[in-house]
Amino acid sequence: MTCAREIDESRSALSLRVDRVRRDEGNAPGTLYCTDVEGTELRVTVRESPAGDLSWQAGRWYRLDGVVRSTSPGAELLLPSGDGSADRVDTPESRAHPPLADLDDPWLVQLGASDELVAVTVQLRPVDGATTSPVRTAAPETFEIGAVCLSHCEEPDATVYHREEPDTRDEHLLLQHVVEDLSEAEGATLVTRGAGRSPLGALRARLNAAAGDGVVDPGAGAVLDGCFHADTGSVAARAAAETLTAAARELGIETEPVRLDDYDIGGDPTDWREGWNTDELPISGPSDPRMTDRDYAALVEQYLETDDDSTAAAALGSCLKAYASADLSLLGDLATHDATGRLACSRPAGRLPSP
């Protein structure tokens, strides 16, 4: 019986239990959250509804024919339209996931089998100062990296690389440090936050851009391919939780937001949030002191353009770095929790922006 980690580059047949169905617009199946015979929890992108009167039901097993590895960071596998098919089957015999040392260059492993776990957060800086719409990682010319933070899970120390200058050369220096660190972590599993974010995609896109300009080594972007990737957004999706923070709370993991009023930054949130539609943000209104990605995008411009050594400027720098690294503890706690040990972690190769 084939399991998910044994899927190669060709189309394959695979038995999976459907745990949850997330439908796209128009009520068409979008992503199946499944479990394979080794207990690996993974995502399958489905292009069309199954033929005939077959429907996806949580808790039932299906044989999917024509499955391929996904080329999108939003799923591990893909059931293409036209060539893919599905049938309901009886519950197959389960088997254990082998130790990582017993596997020969796997493309997918379980989170709990990983030898080294590294939490990674990435904050973006829109190049035009716009904070009204999400940054698209498919358009690397529209953003730069503002910060990259790394922490070995279960260890208290964190590495925070943050921009200090507006010039792109400062971003290049940051990227060089990140490449050096990730080169030393080859084979590790990089743990990131999901929910629509694509931190590794953004990092790869800017590494590719820097390589194209001759600033970093042409193969710098490939440093990510030597690792595995765990997208914790699946934890929230499987729990049907609105946010990853809410899902973590159900597991007994508490986290506190970064509050702007904890830092004497010399301004009030209502100053820069004027005209914002705060209904779209995880805050109660313009005066809510909880910091968001949009606040970061606005404040990082102020910080990089400020050329003074005032107390307020130093406080703003501390605030930005605290926000950029705030999720490291949450990601570390999630990655080492028993409930996430079977989460699928795949190689980023082929699933991130190409040079």
What is the per-residue pLDDT across 309-342, written as a single tens digit (0 to 9) for each? 888 999 999 999 999 999 999 999 999 999 999 9
Residue 17 half-sphere exposure toward CB, CA atoms < 13 A: 15
Q: Which residues contact 307 (CB under 8 A, 6 or more apart)?
A: none
Identify the sign of the CA torsion 14, 15, 17, 22: positive
Place of tokens 């959250």: 33
Report the C-alpha gap between 66 and 206 in whole angstroms.
34
> Can you give the pLDDT at residue 134?
60
Report the C-alpha gap between 201 and 72 in whole angstroms.
10
> Can you give the pLDDT at residue 200?
92
> Can you give the pLDDT at residue 120?
97
Q: Give the residue ranges of the chain where pLDDT is below 70.
A: 1, 24-29, 52, 129-136, 195-197, 353-355
> Can you give the pLDDT at residue 110?
96
Q: What is the pTM of this model?
A: 0.92
Domains of the chain are 4-96 (2.40.50.140), 110-253+327-346 (no CATH), 260-325 (no CATH)
> Can you give the pLDDT at residue 295?
95
Tens digits of per-residue pLDDT, 23-32?
766 556 689 9
List the structure tokens of 163: 């921009």
The secondary structure of the chain in percent helix, strand, coil, rounded to multiples of 5, reads 35, 25, 45
